[in-house]
Amino acid sequence: MLCAAQRTDDVVGLLALKTGERLLDIGCGNGYLSAQLANQGAEVVGFDINPERVLAARAWGLEVKRGNAEELYFHQEFDAVFSHNALHEMHQADQVASGAFMALKPGGRFVGEFPGRGHALLIRRALSGALERRSINLMGMERWYLPNAHEYQRVLERAGFHVSHISWFEQPMSAELSIGDWIRNNCGHYLQAVPMEMRIPFLEEVTEELVSDLLDGSGRWTVDATRLRFKAHRKA
């Protein structure tokens, strides 16, 4: 099972960043990975929609712009566009890809990795089942955009990209905390549908359902994660 650093090594290697290149990091979050890329000698511009994350990223000394990555406004400014663990939160995938294409100089590349089809499927099924048993409406619960490789390749090609690499793969990962806490941090919108006084028994029920599949003999929880990794080029 991979540690957090190992989970970024492969996609950063696929990016193959060169000293002096100008990079746009969309969905940069707290800026930790952006700062690592800047340390490789690139001129990094972070981009995120969340004001708290923007402030955190700026604390690394980065240039960070706040905005919606579904509405990118750059024109041939960057040698590369990068995104790690963020594109699954952007449902307007065609708009994101088109914006990334327009942001790139001719010959530039768009590289990224994010959860793909089937990500945390056992967890989401358990949550949905527990809601159904309480007669709670499931409308809008599936908030992630989770394509397979073929679907996302079509998105990139519609935007004008040539796709040189795309892969979907399973990557089970340690929750590094209880599964209840992982759900609170990553699937909180399911909990928001449950009345406050019912949330503890709700989580206990979901946890019990997941024990046989996701809890090992040493008491460590594993998330049934998947990843989609890609590299696409804007032709020169």
pTM for the full model? 0.92
4-233: CATH topology:
Rossmann fold (3.40.50)
Distance in angstroms (rounded) separating the CA atoms of residues 56 and 50: 10
The 10s digit of each residue's pLDDT in 32-90 is 999 999 999 999 999 999 999 999 999 999 999 999 999 999 999 999 999 999 999 99
Tell me if residue 36 falls in helix, strand or coil: helix
pLDDT value of position 86 = 97
Residue spans per domain, the chain:
4-233
Amino acid at 121: L
Distance in angstroms (rounded) separating the CA atoms of residues 134 and 210: 18
Beta bridge partner(s), residue 230: 112, 166
Average pLDDT, the chain: 94
Distance in angstroms (rounded) separating the CA atoms of residues 137 and 93: 26
**Percentage of the chain lying above the pLDDT 70 cut:** 97
